[in-house]
C-alpha cells in the first residue's frame, strides 16, 4: 500500500482537506467562506474555518475509507503554515496539530506558494519550470536553484487578483471581479494607456487599479477592462520571460486563481513559443487554493524527513517560499533529460 498523507489548506477563503498518495488524490473535501458582501473579512473567514474544520476532515476520512484507505494508513498530517491570513492559519494549524496527535503521526508544515508549484509539477509534465503564481493575495515568479525556490520577481504591493477585484468593486461588479473583467475585456480592442509598473524584476499593481477606476469617468467599462488586463498581463509576462532568460530554463508553469484567465494564458503561450519553451497549465481544480496541493507537498516533505515538532509548528503569515530548504528534490533527476 502506498504512503498517504492528509493535508489541510486554509490560508484565505478556501478550507479544504485532502488525502493523497504519490499517484493521485484519493479524496478531497472543500468548504468555501463566502462573505455576505464585499471582500474577505479575516476574522469571519477564521470563524468559518473553525466551524467547518471537523466537517471537512471527517468527510475526507470517510470518503477515503470508502476507497479502501483507512485511518491507520495515514502516515502524516500536513497544513498550510503560511503565507496567509493569521487568524485563518492559526485555526487550521490547531486542527492539524490535534489530528496529528490523535493519529500519532508526524505533523508537516507546508509553504502554500511551494505547494502551488509542486502540484503543478505533479499534475503536468513540467519538471523544472519558471512558475508564475498569480492569485488574489500573491503574485510571484519563482524557480528552483541550488536547494531553494528563488523568488525572481514579485509584487511590491497588492496581488494581481486583488487589484482586479478592487477595480471591479469600484466599477460596481460583484466579487470575484477577475472573471467578470475577463468577459467584459473580450468586447473591446481599444487600448487606453495605463501605468505599467515593473521595477527591476518586481511589480506593482495598486496604481493600476486606481488608474483604471479613474479611467471609468472618460472611457467605457469594456475598454478599461481590456486595457487593465493588457497592461497587468504584459507586466507579469515580461518578468516571467526575463526569469526564463536569466535561468536558462525551458518551461513555464502557471499557478493561482488568476491563471484561469484565457487572455493571460494566450500571452504566456505566445511568449513561450517565441522562446522555444514549453508552457504548462494544470487542471483548474489544482490552480486555485486546494487541499490536495498541501497534502502532496506534505507527502514529499515527509518522505524526505522534513517534519515539525509541535513546539515549532507556529504559523507564519509572511512565510517566504525562498526561506524553505528544499529537501524533496534530487538535483540529478532535475538535470536528467529535460
Ligand atoms: P491565495 O491565498 O493564493 O492568494 P486566493 O484566496 O486569492 O489565493 P485563488 O483562487 O488562488 O484564491 O485566486 C482568486 C483570485 O483569482 C481572485 O482575485 C479572482 O478575481 C481571480 N480570478 C479568478 N478567475 C479569474 C479570471 N478568469 N481572470 C482573472 N482573474 C481571475
Ligand atoms: Fe494560493
* pLDDT at position 228: 98
* pLDDT at position 1: 61
Domains of the chain: 4-117+286-330 (3.30.420.40), 128-281 (3.30.420.40)
Whole-angstrom distance, CA of residue 209 vs CA of residue 334: 39
pLDDT in tens, 197-234: 999 999 999 999 999 999 999 999 999 999 999 999 99
Q: At what angle do helices 160-170 and 177-185 cross, to 10 degrees?
A: 80
* pLDDT at position 270: 98
Residue 336: which pLDDT band, with cuts at 50, 70 and 90? low
Residue 2: which pLDDT band, with cuts at 50, 70 and 90? confident
Residue 63: which pLDDT band, with cuts at 50, 70 and 90? very high
Full-model pTM: 0.97
Verify cis geometry, omega within 30 degrees of 0, for the bond prior to 315.
Answer: no
How far does residue 257's CA lie from ligand 1's centre (Å)?
3
Pocket test for ligand 1, best of 167, 178, 232, 316 (most atoms within 8 A of CB): 178
* pLDDT at position 38: 67
* pLDDT at position 207: 98
Please, what sign has the CA dihedral across residues 166, 241, 183, 14?
Answer: negative
Q: List % helix, strand, coil for the chain (3-state, nearest 5).
A: 45, 20, 35
How far does residue 106's CA lie from ligand 1's centre (Å)?
31
How far does residue 215's CA lie from ligand 1's centre (Å)?
23
* pLDDT at position 40: 73
Which of 201, 224, 204, 223 lies closest to 214, judged by CA? 224
Q: What are phi and psi of 306, to 5 degrees?
A: -95, 80
Ligand 1 proximity of 138 Cβ (cutoff 6 Å): yes
pLDDT in tens, 237-278: 999 999 999 999 999 999 999 999 999 999 999 999 999 999
- DSSP annotation of 271 reads H
How is 179-242 classified by DSSP, letter by letter? Answer: HHHHHHHTT----------EETTEE--HHHHHHHHHHTTTS-HHHHHHHHHHHHHHHHHHHHHH
Copy the grid coordinates of residue 15: 478550507
pLDDT in tens, 172-187: 998 899 999 999 999 9
**The pairing of beta strand 14-20 with beta strand 25-32:** antiparallel
Percent of the chain whose pLDDT exceeds 70: 98
Instruction: Give all strands (DSSP E) within the chain, no chain letters.
Output: 4-9, 14-20, 25-32, 74-82, 107-111, 130-134, 139-145, 148-154, 198-199, 202-203, 251-255, 278-280
Ligand 1 proximity of 76 Cβ (cutoff 6 Å): no
Q: Which atom of ligand 1 is nearest to the CA of 84?
A: 2
Which of 159, 82, 79, 89 lies closest to 113, judged by CA? 82
**Residue 338 scores a pLDDT above 60:** no
**Mean predicted confidence (pLDDT) in 155-159:** 98
**Residue 137 scores a pLDDT above 50:** yes
Whole-angstrom distance, CA of residue 238 vs CA of residue 168: 24
Look at residue 89 and give its three-state secondary structure: helix
How is 18-29 classified by DSSP, letter by letter? Answer: EEE-SS-EEEEE
Ligand 1 proximity of 16 Cβ (cutoff 6 Å): no
∠181-86-54 over CA atoms, to 5°? 95
Amino acid at each position: 500500500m502506498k504512503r498517504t498523507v492528509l493535508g489541510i489548506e486554509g490560508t484565505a477563503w478556501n478550507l479544504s482537506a485532502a488525502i493523497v498518495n504519490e499517484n493521485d488524490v484519493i479524496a478531497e473535501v472543500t468548504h468555501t467562506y463566502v462573505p455576505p458582501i464585499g471582500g474577505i473579512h479575516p476574522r469571519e473567514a477564521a470563524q468559518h474555518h473553525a466551524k467547518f474544520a471537523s466537517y471537512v476532515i471527517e468527510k475526507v476520512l470517510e470518503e477515503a475509507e470508502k476507497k479502501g484507505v483507512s485511518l491507520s494508513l495515514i502516515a502524516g498530517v500536513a497544513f498550510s503554515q503560511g503565507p496567509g491570513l493569521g487568524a485563518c492559519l492559526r485555526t487550521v494549524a490547531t486542527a492539524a496539530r490535534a489530528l496529528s496527535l490523535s493519529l500519532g503521526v508526524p505533523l508537516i508544515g507546508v509553504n502554500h506558494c511551494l505547494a502551488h508549484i509542486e502540484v503543478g509539477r505533479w499534475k503536468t509534465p513540467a519538471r523544472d519550470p519558471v512558475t508564475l503564481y498569480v492569485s488574489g493575495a500573491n503574485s510571484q515568479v519563482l524557480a528552483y536553484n541550488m536547494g531553494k525556490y528563488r523568488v525572481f520577481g514579485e509584487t511590491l504591493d497588492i496581488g494581481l487578483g486583488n487589484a482586479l477585484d478592487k477595480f471591479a468593486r469600484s466599477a460596481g461588479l460583484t466579487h470575484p471581479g477577475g472573471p467578470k473583467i475577463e468577459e467584459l475585456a473580450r468586447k473591446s480592442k481599444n487600448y487606453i494607456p495605463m501605468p505599467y509598473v515593473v521595477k527591476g524584476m518586481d511589480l506593482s499593481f495598486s496604481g493600476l487599479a486606481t488608474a483604471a477606476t479613474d479611467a471609468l469617468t472618460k472611457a467605457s467599462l469594456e475598454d478599461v477592462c481590456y486595457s487593465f488586463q493588457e497592461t497587468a498581463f504584459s507586466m507579469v509576462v515580461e518578468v516571467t520571460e526575463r526569469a526564463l532568460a536569466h535561468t536558462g530554463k525551458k518551461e513555464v508553469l502557471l499557478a493561482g486563481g488568476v491563471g484561469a484567465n484565457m487572455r493571460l494564458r494566450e500571452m504566456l503561450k505566445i511568449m513561450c513559443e517565441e522562446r522555444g519553451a514549453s508552457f504548462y497549465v494544470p487542471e483548474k481544480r489544482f490552480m486555485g487554493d486546494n487541499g490536495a496541493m498541501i497534502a502532496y507537498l506534505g507527502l514529499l516533505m515527509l518522505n524526505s524527513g522534513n517534519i515539525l515538532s509541535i513546539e515549532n509548528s507556529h504559523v507564519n503569515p509572511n512565510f517566504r517560499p525562498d526561506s524553505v530548504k528544499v529537501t524533496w528534490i534530487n538535483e540529478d533527476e532535475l538535470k536528467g533529460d529535460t
